[in-house]
Structure 1
């Protein structure tokens, strides 16, 4: 199912979820189906997973958030969809606001609700996988 999320096979994945596959299923790295679909840029699948109750605030084993990954990959429509479903732009390491700032995504700074104190904060180092 993780490959279906990565490759955007919405028909297969959504049928499995509708047949009671846990919508917040995670792989061995803590990545959810939503995280994989969003990172790969599958907007329609991302929105359908959110409609089915996928948690937009799950953090993977590296401390990465779904919305920060979407910012990094420049998937603006996915960023907006995640925020509409309650994604926290300050969750994760680095968080979505820090990612937007690091990668010069000025157009997303306002969308993410950036406040004066958000910029200039030191970006924490993600936890090591070793």
Structure 2
């Protein structure tokens, strides 16, 4: 406790502001471990495990430290079954990572035509993002990948 002078010049005690009852220290080690396992499930194609956690309340748009969502990772790692499930449970097909890349761009970069078609059918914009899926196809994908994007027009 400290003192200050009141309006009459008297010293009056000052109470410091109350500390919050609970301080947030961030996610627990257990939560971080679970999140890591779920991001691995998206990468490796473990549809059943990932879907069970999402149905139980896990955010389908959870992002890792780089801003990648489950959908971004599944699209990048050629996992169309995971992509399909995530779309079905409401994952955001336009959610960009910290580099501005969207799931469709990742699938395009990898040449994953099945995931590209699923994302396009779900409304993913081939001209959105940095770089966009269309720009990625021009730089890396070749005619076959660009043709998948053109099917959506």
- Range into which the TM-score falls when normalised by the shorter chain: 0.7 to 0.9
- Which 5+ residue runs of structure 2 have no aligned equivalent? 1-37
Whether 1:79 aligns to 2:86 is no
TM-score by length of structure 1 reads 0.82
Deviations 1:93-126 (A, max 9, x none): 1110011111242133343249xxxxxxxxxxxx
Q: Report the Cα distance in structure 2 between the residues aligned to 1:36 and 1:51, rounded to whole angstroms.
A: 16
Match for 1:35 among 51, 72, 76?
A: 72
The structure with higher relative contact order (CA 8 Å, sep 6+) is 1
Residues 1-130 of structure 1: matches in 2 within 5 Å?
Answer: 1-113=38-150
Change over 3 Å in CA distance of 1:27–1:96 after alignment to 2: same
Question: Between Structure 1 and Structure 2, how many residues are aligned?
Answer: 114
Which ranges in structure 1 are unaligned for 5 or more consecutive residues? 115-130
Question: Is residue 111–residue 145 contact of structure 2 (8 Å, CA) maintained in 1?
Answer: no
Does the aligned pair in 1 maintain the 2:109–2:141 contact within 8 Å? no
Q: Partners in 1 of 2:141 and 2:65 — Cα distance? A: 32
Give, in whole Å, the separation in 2 of the partners of 1:35 and 1:57.
Answer: 10
The whole-number CA distance in structure 1 between the counterparts of 2:105 and 2:127 is 9
Root-mean-square deviation (Å)? 1.4
Q: Secondary structure of the residue that 1:107 maps to in structure 2?
A: helix
SS at match of 2:130: coil
TM-score, normalised relative to structure 2: 0.70
